[in-house]
Structure 1
Amino acid sequence: MEKLTLLIDFLFTHKLLLTLLIIVLISATKRLIIYKVRGDVSFLSDTQRKWISRTKNGTFTLLVILLFMLWQTEINKFALSVTAIAIAIVVASKEIILCFTGSIQRASSRSFVIGDWIEVGSLCGEVIEHNLMATVIQEIDLHHGQYHYTGKTATFPNSTFFTYPVKNLNFMKRYVYHNFTITVPKFVNLYPLFPSLTVQIEQHCEDFHEVAKRYNSIIEKHAGVDLPGSEPHIHVSSGATGEQHVHIMIFCPTERASHLEQSIREDFMLAYEKEFAC
């Protein structure tokens, strides 16, 4: 008992050594928990990512609290000594403060959780981690009409939430309103092609039409707005130099959007060639 008391007194006398010991123990505990959660799987599930993120945030918070309690006396003395330069410290730590408040804003608004698809500025991707300072996403190529992972990981500070709106695209993980445009250089009457093209699109979507209809209804109820619907939509607009743009929108499974687009483009081109062949 006396040896334990002497050891404790020694550690509290040598706070740097105690600080190092606390950091090592908490880091080792964090690594062990993450190792147990990750297991031997090649790809992490949303549940695993959530627990890994909670472990990292929890151990970091615990470390900060313990070190603050350990060095409280020194921190108080230091705070008194820097009162004259408090304004300079606030200015210098502006970005850090914004990151903390951005994290609080995200948590209070519940704008997204780990596993959601989000768009922030020009970045689109699936959230794989978030903490007090930054958010990490696995980038998805949405701006080019694709819905696959690019293999890039993007990390942005939470202060970004005060600069750009956060768009939650989570419903797009299963079904998506896929829009694409076909440009016709000649100014001809394209409307006679649309009835047969609509039938062909419906045939392409026949195997998932009922599921798409139900899922569309669920999204409408959740969002509280009247969405376009699960049926295909076709309309035409004209360009500045006389060309015509055929805009097509379908509601389909996200992983099949690109393939369906190519099939519909082929159907349109065959019908156009047959109708307006010279």
Structure 2
Amino acid sequence: MIDKITLAIDFLLEHKLLFTALIIVLISLIKQFIISTIRGDVAFLSDVQRKWMSRTKNGIFILTIMVLFMLWQAEVSKFALSVTAIAIAFVIASKEIILCFTGSIQRASSRSFVIGDWIEVGNIYGQVIEHNLMATVIQEIDLENGQYHFTGKTATLPNSMFFTYAVKNHNFMKRYVYHHMTITVAQFVNLYPLFPELTNKIDAYCEDFIEVARRYNGVIEKHAGVDLPGSEPHIHVTSGATGEQNVNIMIFCPTERAIELDYKIRQDFMEAFQQRFHAQPKG
């Protein structure tokens, strides 16, 4: 039995390509088994599951590289000594790959985000669902248009982007958000008499969560070390380039209720505007 095992090992060492293929297949099966075990039968993955799946993939990838390097060490050494010029050219040609590796190191050392965080890189917004040595995968969120829902798209960002674009962490927006809305009024009329009643209605909409919002706002201020606008609604008017008036409203509210409150506040403003400026008989 031992002799057969020895003969099999000698055969595989003589045919390293076959041995490499077997190693890759075996490691892939082990990885698939571990990932399936972590995932279980749930329909939606939790952040903890995503973290362990990412760690498993990264660990197995590193293990595979180490095993294959040990197997081909002699050949790699001979190749490196004989084709130094080619190796230098390869490094230059693989600049983007090197940047991805170093970008991964930069992300890990700065701890700019972890799996589950909402981030912005360039003009891409999303929740981090996986990161490895080469890329970061996010589920896209429509933050750019003032929405807070997933678009269903998955974006894979090469880690080299972290040297080109600033990484903005929007993780606190998963629970509460400073929601901005702008209502444009073409007529030049005095809008300020509408604001006290509108503010009262906004306060009524926020009454059931305002205490939690104040505490959460305080936590964010303490964590960030800056003075934030606060949890109370803010209303101010600005002028557009062609003379129109822009009513800017900002509220601090639960993320999942932002769109609902946006709709109600816009409706209240438009009804009040219609009643005050269009229901009066012309003199």
Query: Normalization by structure 2: what TM-score?
Result: 0.96
Q: Are residues 1:217 and 2:218 paired?
A: yes
CA deviations 1:129-180 (Å, max 9, x no partner) are 1111111100000011100000011111100111100000000000000001
- CA separation in 2, counterparts of 1:56 and 1:86? 28
Matched, 1:150 2:132: no
Deviations 1:195-241 (A, max 9, x none): 11111100010010001010000000111110000000000001122
Q: What residue number does 2:181 align with?
A: 180
What are the within-5 Å matches in structure 2 for residues 91-130 of structure 1?
91-130=92-131
Question: How does 1:20-35 map onto structure 2 within 5 Å?
Answer: 20-35=21-36
Question: 1:84 offset after TM fit, Å?
Answer: 2.2
> Unaligned regions of 5+ residues in structure 2, if any?
none
Cα distance, 1:271 vs structure 2: 1.2
1:89 Cα shift? 1.3
The residue that corresponds to 2:142 in the other structure is 141
Secondary structure of 2:161's counterpart equals helix
SS in 1 for 2:241: coil
Correspondence list, 1:39-78, <5 A: 39-78=40-79
1:6 paired residue number: 7
**Larger displacement relative to structure 2 (249-258 or 75-84):** 75-84
2:260 paired with 1:259: yes
Q: Secondary structure at the match of 1:5?
A: helix
Secondary structure, counterpart of 1:213 in structure 2: helix
Moved over 3 A (4+): none
Q: Which amino acid aligns with 1:107?
A: A
SS of the equivalent of 1:207 reads coil
Report the CA distance between 1:14 and its aligned residue.
Answer: 1.7
How far off its partner does 1:82 sit? 1.5
Amino acid at match of 2:94: S
1:113 is aligned with what amino acid? V
Cα deviation, residue 87, structure 1: 3.1
- The whole-number CA distance in structure 2 between the counterparts of 1:60 and 1:87 is 25
Deviations 1:104-130 (Å, cap 9, x if unpaired)? Answer: 000000011111100001110001111
Number of the residue aligned with 1:235: 236
| Structure 1: unaligned runs, 5 residues or longer | none
Name the aligned partner's letter for residue 76 of structure 2. I
Shift of 1:5: 2.1
Quote the offset at 1:6 in angstroms.
2.2
**1:4 Cα deviation from its structure 2 partner:** 2.1
C-alpha distance in 1 between matches for 2:61 and 2:86? 28
Partner Cα distance (1:49, 1:189) in 2:
53
Deviates more, 1:129-138 or 1:77-86: 77-86
SS in structure 2 at match of 1:152: strand
Give aligned-pair identity as a percent: 75
Deviation at 1:81, TM superposition (A): 1.7
Please give the alpha-carbon distance, in whole angstroms, between the structure 1 residues aligned to 2:152 and 2:212: 30
SS of match in other structure, 2:251: strand
The TM-score with structure 1 as length reference comes to 0.98
Q: Distance in 2 between matches of 1:35 and 1:85?
A: 41
Amino acid at match of 2:117: D
Distance 2:85 2:206 in 1: 69
Q: Count how many residue pairs are aligned between Structure 1 and Structure 2.
A: 278
Q: What's the offset of the Cα at 1:3? A: 2.3
Q: 1:129 and 1:182 mapped to 2: Cα distance? A: 38
